[in-house]
Structure 1
Amino acid sequence: MSQNIQKRHKNLAYRLNQLMGFILGARFFFVALLTFALYVSTFFLFNREESFRAFVFDYHAHLIILCSVLSILAGGIINQFYDREKDQVTKPFRSRIQSFLKQKYFLYAYIFLNALGLTIAFTQSWRVFVFFLVYQFLMWFYSHKISKVLFLNNLTFVGLTMYPFFGMLVYYRTFTLKVFFMAIFLFLMLMIIDMTKDLLTKNADKVFGYKTIANQFSSKIARQIIIVFCLMAFVVSLIIIKGIGLQSIMAWYFAIGLFVLILSIFWLFRNHKNDKVTTLSVLKLWIFFGILAMLFDGIYSRFSWAI
């Protein structure tokens, strides 16, 4: 009897490990954050004319976001498939959990998610279908080839991260200077994060043939380029603050962000490994705070009349 219970416990543990392996392989937590960001930016930044009720019942917008989510999940799976050898060195815990599930099941899930996303996209229009077909192809091509190409890997990663937001911007036809400068700020922040990550994985990248500025030139040159991006983000933040004033939550977010960027530059100058980890963590957290700031700023500006 006790042996049967132990066997059941082992089977349950194994199934849980398989589930966790799939969740980590598809990068569900990253996708959940990106989905949250898509909804917040769509309603409070791109869709300024539609009421909340109209947005809730705008099934076209929800289906486009769903296509984005399915495509991003598929992209995470194919990326870990090509990066699995490198991840065994840089992310041993995640690789160990993912090993409970055979790679063929990840590929089945990749095909299913892409097919489902394209099917939903086709029900909307042929333009939406082509938009996501290109997106899925680029994510596969990035994982297969571009991730190992110098500098183009950083640009493509950031571009693919922003691709769904561009889709919603086109859907609502919201082209303003505010959106333009916020997009530049996000682009710069993502570039800083991706290049800082390259500093931390420099040796593993070199071993497995991933060409980055850090391992092709030097960590010093990579840090100098990152600092230039920080200074550019600093200038863009000042432009946004001047444009929207200090009467909104988003303005205060960018104002405080100036000090975050100064701290990041200081940590990069010191060139300690712990400082690089701290910089990466703080900047990721700051982007999350930016999503929250946009949410609360949007709620305040849209619903303050009801108070």
Structure 2
Amino acid sequence: MNSEKENLQSQNIASKSLFYRFSQFVGFLLGARVFVAVLLTFALYVSTFFLFNQEESLRNFVFDFKVHGIIFCTVLCILAGGIINQFYDFEKDHIVKPFRTRIQSFIKQKYFLYAYLTLSITSLGVAWMISYRVFIFFLIYQFFMWYYSHKLSRILIVNNLTFVSLTLYPFFGMMVYYETFSMKVFLMAIFLFLMLLCIDIAKDTLTKSVDKAFGYTTIPNYFKGKTTKLILISLLMIAMAVSMKIIVRTNVWGFMSDYFAVGLFVFISCIYFLLNDSRRSKFITLNILRLWVFIGIIAMLLNGIESKL
């Protein structure tokens, strides 16, 4: 009997230990925002090969280790940025994201900081091996990612503009690397900037009370609801105008042409939901815009594959 009880206890301890380790692993993935990093990496590869680097063959692109090194450094910076951001937003996330915070609690905050330093140093080390210019590029990137989490995320309007700029920073680097300066790329960059800005402001509308309580001055908790709604609708209308400009004045075709054309109706539906001033409508608008950005990446991929065939 005693041996059976001991075996049962040892099995329970082993299962609890396994659950604890698994929870630590999931907590780290959520803290580092690995899933966001994976999506941005996919977007970087698609935009690099099919938008910025249309002249190079797939074989040359695959063996261009400098490009892979730059994207690798970008991924490490994004992971590090996610960790340092959750470190500064830990108290706010307790209320806004209770499930994620609960999972992250299985790991002590000091280990997140160790991971942040490891990822940052590794990224800069790889960047230095590529070139000193790449090193400076990522040094600036890492500084502003830290400074955004430390200070800029609490400043009105600056927080939104900085967040969107940091998201687009790696894409700007690739554009400079390949010297891809054209009206089409410029307009598409403006379009993506407007989309991400709308997403960030829409996200803030869902957490305005918590943001205000923890000292984050955002557009929704500084202005009245009508003003915030007007800002979002204005940005969506500008995005519609840019979409029409891309369709009419640039040589987009195939899936990308369809994407921008259908996007006009998507934005109209978002405006309709925003006019219905409810939390559910804001949540639906936010997720429609997020999904539309992802569909844009897929459209670029399919359009690029079609052009290469």
Could you tell me how far 1:116 is from its partner in structure 2? 0.2
Contact kept? 1:241, 1:254, Cα under 8 Å: yes
**Which among 92, 105, 118 is matched to residue 86 of structure 1?**
92
**How far, CA to CA, are the matches of 1:244 and 1:293 in structure 2?**
16
Does the CA-based 8 Å contact 2:183-2:250 persist in structure 1?
no
Aligned counterpart, 1:15: 21
1:244 Cα deviation from its structure 2 partner: 4.0
Contact 1:213 1:219 in 2 (8 A): no
> What SS does the aligned partner of 1:169 have?
helix
User: Cα distance, 1:245 vs. partner?
Assistant: 5.8
Normalising by structure 2, we get a TM-score of 0.97
Three-state SS of the structure 2 residue aligned to 1:184 is helix
Larger-gyration structure (1/2): 2
Alignment match, 1:39: 45
Q: State whether residues 63 and 121 of structure 1, in contact with CA within 8 Å, keep that contact through their aligned partners in structure 2.
A: yes
**How does 1:229-240 map onto structure 2 within 5 Å?**
229-240=235-246
Question: For 2:213, which of 202, 207, 231 is the aligned residue?
Answer: 207
Alignment of 1:257-276 (within 5 A): 257-276=263-282
| Deviations, residues 91-146 of structure 1 (Å, cap 9, x unaligned) | 00000000000000000000000000000000011110000000000000000000
Q: Which secondary structure state, in structure 2, belongs to the residue aligned with residue 100 of structure 1?
A: coil
Report the equivalent of 2:65.
59
Aligned match of 1:182: 188
| Corresponding position of 2:294 | 288
**Displacement after TM superposition at 1:246 (Å):** 7.2
Structure 2 matches for 1:128-277, cutoff 5 A? 128-244=134-250, 247-277=253-283
Structure-2 residue corresponding to 1:113: 119
Find the aligned partners of 2:233 and 2:28 in 1 and give their Cα distance: 36
Partner-residue secondary structure (3-state), 2:146: helix
The answer to whether residue 40 in structure 2 is matched with residue 27 in structure 1 is: no
CA positional deviation for 1:217:
1.7
Distance in structure 1 (CA, Å) of the matches to 2:226 and 2:36: 30
- Counterpart of 2:4 in structure 1 is none
Aligned AA (2:115) = A
Q: Structure 1: 5+ residue runs without aligned partners?
A: none
Query: CA offsets per residue over residues 247-302 of structure 1, 9 Å max, x none?
Result: 41100000001011001111111111111000011110110000000000000011
Q: Identity, % of aligned pairs?
A: 58
Residue in structure 2 matched with residue 298 of structure 1 by the alignment: 304
The separation in 2 between residues aligned to 1:213 and 1:52, in whole angstroms, is: 44
User: What is the CA-CA distance between 1:16 and the residue it aligns to?
Assistant: 0.4
Q: Shift of residue 202 of structure 1? A: 0.5
Measured in 2, the distance between the counterparts of 1:48 and 1:246 equals: 13
Counterpart CA distance in 2 for 1:85 and 1:183 is 34
Q: Secondary structure at the match of 1:274?
A: helix
Query: Where does residue 74 of structure 2 map in the other structure?
Result: 68
TM-score normalized by the length of structure 1? 0.98
Q: Which residue of 2 is the match for residue 4 of structure 1? A: 10
Count of aligned pairs between the two proteins:
303
Per-residue CA shift, 1:182-236, capped at 9, x if unaligned? 0000000000000001110010000000001111121221111011100000000
Partner Cα separation in structure 1 for residue 223 and residue 305 of structure 2: 46
1:124/1:259 CA distance change after superposition, 3 Å: same
Contact 2:32 2:79 survives alignment (8 Å)? yes
- In 2, Cα distance between equivalents of 1:248 and 1:151: 36
